[in-house]
Each structure stands twice: as C-alpha cells, then as structure tokens.
Amino acid sequence: AWTDWMVQLDDDWKDFNAQIEEEKKAWIEEKEGDWVILLKHLQNKWLHFNPNLDAEYQTDMLAKSETWDERQWKMWISTEGKQLLEMDLKKWFTNNEMIYCKWTMDEWNEWKNEKIKEWVTSEWKESEDQYWSKYDDATIQTLTVAERNQWFKWKERIYREGIEWKNWIAIKESKFVNANWNSWSEWKNEKRLEFNDWIEAFVEKWIRQKQWLIWTDERKNFANRQKAAPGGVAAAPGVFAPRPAFGAPSGFAPRPGFAAPSQPPRYSFAAASGYVAPSATSEAAPATSEAPASAEATTALSSETTTPVNPEETAASPETTTVNPEATPVNPEAPVAEPEKKEEEPAAEPLLAIEPAQTEPAALEAAPST
C-alpha cells in the first residue's frame, strides 16, 4: 500500500508543480504593472524638494546643501543622489521578494501536509495504528509470540515509511525552492538592468533642467509656510505633502498573491502510531522535522472569555446656569469688523516629467528648462 501511494504521490507532485508555475507567471505579470508605478513614484519624488529627506535616508544633505553652487549640486545628484535612488529600488525588491517567497512556501507546505494527512487518515491505516499503538515495549509481554512479531513488524514498517517520506520531501523541496528562486532572480536581474538605464537618463535630465533651482524655491516656500503656521509647523501641501512609503496603499502595498489564509494541521511520524497530529493551540510543525515521539496526539480546545462592561455610568449634573436678565444688551449698531483677507498662495509648480528608458515615453514628457 505504501509503495503504491508513493507512486501516486509522484504524479500528484508533477500536477502541483505545473500549477505553481502558472501562478508564478501570473504573479510576475502583476509585478510588471507595479514596476511602472514604482518608476513614476521615484520620478515624482526626486523631481521635488523633500523636507523629510535627511530623516528618511539618515543623511545630512539638507543641512549641507543650503549654500551649494551648481557644481556641488551636479556632483551630489551624480553620486550620493543616485545611491539614494538605488536604496529605494532595493527596498522595493526586498519587499516583493519576501512576499514571493512566503507565498510559494505556503503553497508547498499546504500541499505536502494535505498529502501526508490523506495517508495517515486512510481507514485501514488509522484502524491499524490505533490497535498497535496501545502497546509498548513493556506491555507487549502480555501478547502471544505471534502478536509480538506483528507488533515489531508494524513498528519497523512505520519507521521505514517515515524515513522514506522525509527523504522524498527533502528532495522535492530543494527542487521547488531552487526553481522558484531562479524565476524571481531572472526577473529581478532584468529589471535591474532596466533601472540602470532609467536612472542614467533621469540624472542627466535632472542636471540639464537645473532641477536644484526648483528644489531651492520649494524649500524657501516650505520654510515660509512653517513660520506662518500656528506653532511653527505647517503641513506641506501639493508636492510637499508626505509621500507614501513602500508598503502603504499607494501602489506599493504587499499583495497576498496566491498564499492560503491558513495552513491545515501538519502530520508527522511518531514512534508508536507512526504519525502525530499537533494540537490546535500550537503552531503546526512541518512533517519533515518530526521524530518518532508518541502514540497519539490530543487536540486541546481553548475558549476566550470576555469581561462584561460595567453598565453603571456617572450621571451628569442636573444643574443649569441661570441667565442674568439685567445683563447689558448688545448694541445692534456696533460696527462689525471685516474679516482679514488672506493672501492667496501661488499655485504649486507643475511636476516636471522625465522620460524613463523604454517606460511609457508618451506619458513622461520633459518640462522646459528653468
């Protein structure tokens, strides 16, 4: 029975692997759209002054750049500025890599646990394990010689099955993980080359348009708003508004992909019964890491109790304030002060577009030089 089941397991593995390959292709296609959004986000972010730049990147660029001349600005964007853009790209890759790896491993763990569960819960197997697991090395002395021989054969068989299962899982998991990593690495390397071309074009146009002049003007406007705002702190409108970080709902939010919301209990091999199901209150452990342990596992259910809210509330004071009828009446002819007119702020500078390398060139036209 075990040999036949392992043969069928190989066929099921091929079907599972083919399905995962199709889902990986769909996931990569989805990332293509996210890639376009990323380049647009970086372009808009680095064309304008960012008051939080020093805090975000742990640098002192804003403090140093107040008195920079044209040569210093060109040097900065060509060196440190490019490195900061590279940091943004690295964060994006790392975030998506974590999502991708978690999804693929969740799919694999769910599949292999379902398979071993099918085996250990088959009717004849469950009945046999329940019968023989009642005995141990001490209590088998009460059995006949023939029954003891059957018990030893049962123990030997489940141990052998456990070893075969662990070896099979280790081989398939290695192939599965390597194939997934190769697919992701190939796509990431392709985008890395594309980004290198894009950043060179971006820096060249940033210098040609003298974008530091826009930064300087926006920085002065931001400082003036801070002085005029109550408490000296102003929320920067328009292009100065806080920009969403990676992981925020702005096109960079992690997508769950195809990962299952939860995993079923994982079964493993044990010394007596051959398999043990973990309790519901503990985290499921991979079937490949269990060593022979016990005959059966029991499931512990836990319930949550909530403390009722005290319905008593403090009553409000019924006292009311009496209006003095002899109070001096308001003079209806008193002049009303006209509200002070606020000066309208000039409209925010339009975003300067930059044309990334082979990425929606029509939508990203260059703005006139300043």
Give 14-33 pLDDT, tens digit per residue. 999 999 999 999 999 999 99
Residue 125 belongs to what domain range?
2-254+265-289
Query: Mean pLDDT over residues 116-139, rounded?
Result: 82
Tokens read off for 190: 């392709």
Contacts of 64 (CB under 8 A, 6+ apart): none
Q: How confident is the model at residue 146 (pLDDT cuts 50, 70, 90)?
A: confident
Tokens read off for 299: 């499931």
Q: Where are the beta strands (DSSP E) in 25-126?
A: none
Per-residue pLDDT, 142? 82
Chain segment 319-356, per-residue pLDDT in tens: 433 334 444 444 444 444 444 444 444 444 443 343 44
Phi, psi of 219 (to 5 degrees): -65, -40
Residue 101's nearest CA partner among 185, 22, 18, 34 is: 185
Task: Indicate whether 283 belongs to any domain.
Answer: yes
Per-residue pLDDT, 22? 93
Task: Indicate whether 131 belongs to any domain.
Answer: yes
Percentage above 70 pLDDT, the chain = 62
Residue 297's nearest CA partner among 314, 311, 285, 306 is: 285
Contacts of 276 (CB under 8 A, 6+ apart): 267, 268, 269, 270, 290, 293, 294, 296, 297
Chain segment 186-214, per-residue pLDDT in tens: 999 999 999 999 999 999 999 999 999 99
Chain segment 272-309, per-residue pLDDT in tens: 334 444 443 334 334 333 333 333 333 333 333 334 33
Residue 33's nearest CA partner among 289, 282, 276, 251 is: 251
Average predicted confidence (pLDDT) for the chain: 73
Query: Mean pLDDT over residues 233-243, rounded?
Result: 45
SS3 162: helix
Q: How confident is the model at residue 148 (pLDDT cuts 50, 70, 90)?
A: confident
Task: Indicate whether 328 belongs to any domain.
Answer: no
Phi, psi of 350 (to 5 degrees): -65, 150
Per-residue pLDDT, 232? 54
Task: Indicate whether 338 belongs to any domain.
Answer: no
Separation CA 292–CA 181 (nearest Å): 32
Task: Indicate whether 242 belongs to any domain.
Answer: yes
Query: How does DSSP classify residue 303?
Result: -
Task: Indicate whether 260 belongs to any domain.
Answer: no
Residue 112 · residue 218 · CB < 8 Å: no
Q: How confident is the model at residue 145 (pLDDT cuts 50, 70, 90)?
A: confident
Phi, psi of 29 (to 5 degrees): -60, -40
Separation CA 131–CA 296 (nearest Å): 11
SS3 360: coil
Tell me which of 41-45, 151-155, 315-319 is least confident. Answer: 315-319
Per-residue pLDDT, 103? 94
Q: How confident is the model at residue 229 (pLDDT cuts 50, 70, 90)?
A: confident
Task: Indicate whether 310 belongs to any domain.
Answer: no
Per-residue pLDDT, 100? 94
Per-residue pLDDT, 218? 96
Half-sphere CA count of 141, side-chain side, radius 13 A: 3
Tokens read off for 116: 């071993």
Phi, psi of 34 (to 5 degrees): -65, -30
pTM for this predicted structure: 0.59
Domains of the chain: total: 1
Total residues belonging to the chain: 370
Residue 255's nearest CA partner among 96, 104, 148 is: 96
